[in-house]
């Protein structure tokens, strides 16, 4: 049987956290055991509490520097036996020290087809560039900004209206499928990095 102890880090409304809680938490041995945030008011924290998941807030202002904040956060996650850290709208860059604590065990969802439109406001960047297709990427987190090996991607057409709200809605709907799917695949042990090419993520077919 597969199983995985998962933590989610979120800074905002937490709709991706909710999708994980609703569709993978408590199934096939996957347990969301911790939700962390840099923002005490993040709605994601209330969603976690409603689901009975332990929460903690790691505010930059409470630590001498980012490295100290991330070390406290990594300790908190390690104490809970976390095996996979999911960034779901976590708006802080993780320090190299944190990333080294969870090698190839941190994933992020990004609202564009990377490597196009990394960083902030990917949806605005796509609209400004005039692309006709954008999408969603789930990737491993490395020390760069949205540069880690790509696990899953799905395209989303830009509506003819070029209406931002409409595109956002379409992208979020895809995120809410793709991020839980990545967690399921990782829990099932189907996701590995190609030993011959560290950029390439291999996804094994489902066992028959």
Active site residue 110: yes
Q: Which stretch binds ligand GRF (CB under 6 A): 6-14, 47-55, 92-100, 140-148?
A: 6-14
Listed in sequence order, the residues at least 6 apart from 83 whose beta carbon sits closer than 8 Å to its beta carbon are 4, 5, 6, 105
Residues 160-199 binding ligand GRF (CB under 6 A) are 175
Per DSSP, the three-state class of 92 is coil
Is 118 among the residues that bind ligand GRF (CB under 6 A)?
no
Is 13 among the residues that bind ligand GRF (CB under 6 A)?
yes
Sheet holding 106-110, edge to edge: 55-57, 30-37, 4-9, 84-87, 106-110, 133-140, 150-157
Residue nearest to ligand GRF (CB): 89
Nearer to ligand GRF, 111 or 149 (CB): 111
Asked whether 31 and 107 are in contact (CB, 8 A), the reply is no
Is 110 among the residues that bind ligand GRF (CB under 6 A)?
yes
Number of residues that bind ligand GRF (CB under 6 A): 12
Is 10 among the residues that bind ligand GRF (CB under 6 A)?
yes
Is 14 among the residues that bind ligand GRF (CB under 6 A)?
yes
Q: What are phi and psi of 85, to 5 degrees?
A: -110, 120
Q: Which residues are catalytic?
A: 110
């Amino acid at each position: 049987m597969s199983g995985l102890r998962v933590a989610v880090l979120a800074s905002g409304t937490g709709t991706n956290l909710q999708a994980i809680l609703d569709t993978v938490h408590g199934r096939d041995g996957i347990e969301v055991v911790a939700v962390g945030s840099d923002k005490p008011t993040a709605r994601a924290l209330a969603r976690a509490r409603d689901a009975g998941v332990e929460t903690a807030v790691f505010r930059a202002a409470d630590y001498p520097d980012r490295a100290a904040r991330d070390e406290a956060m990594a300790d908190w996650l390690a104490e809970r036996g976390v095996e996979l850290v999911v960034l779901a709208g976590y708006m802080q860059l993780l320090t190299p020290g944190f990333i080294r604590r969870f090698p190839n065990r941190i994933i992020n969802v990004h609202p564009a087809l990377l490597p196009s439109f990394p960083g902030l406001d990917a949806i605005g960047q796509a609209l400004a560039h005039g692309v006709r297709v954008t999408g969603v990427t789930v990737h491993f987190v490395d020390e760069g900004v949205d540069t880690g090996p790509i696990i899953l991607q799905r395209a989303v057409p830009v509506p003819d209206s070029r209406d931002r709200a409409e595109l956002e809605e379409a992208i979020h709907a895809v995120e809410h499928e793709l991020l839980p799917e990545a967690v399921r695949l990782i829990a099932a042990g189907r996701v590995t990095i190609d030993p011959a090419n560290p950029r390439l993520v291999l996804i094994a077919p489902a066992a028959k």
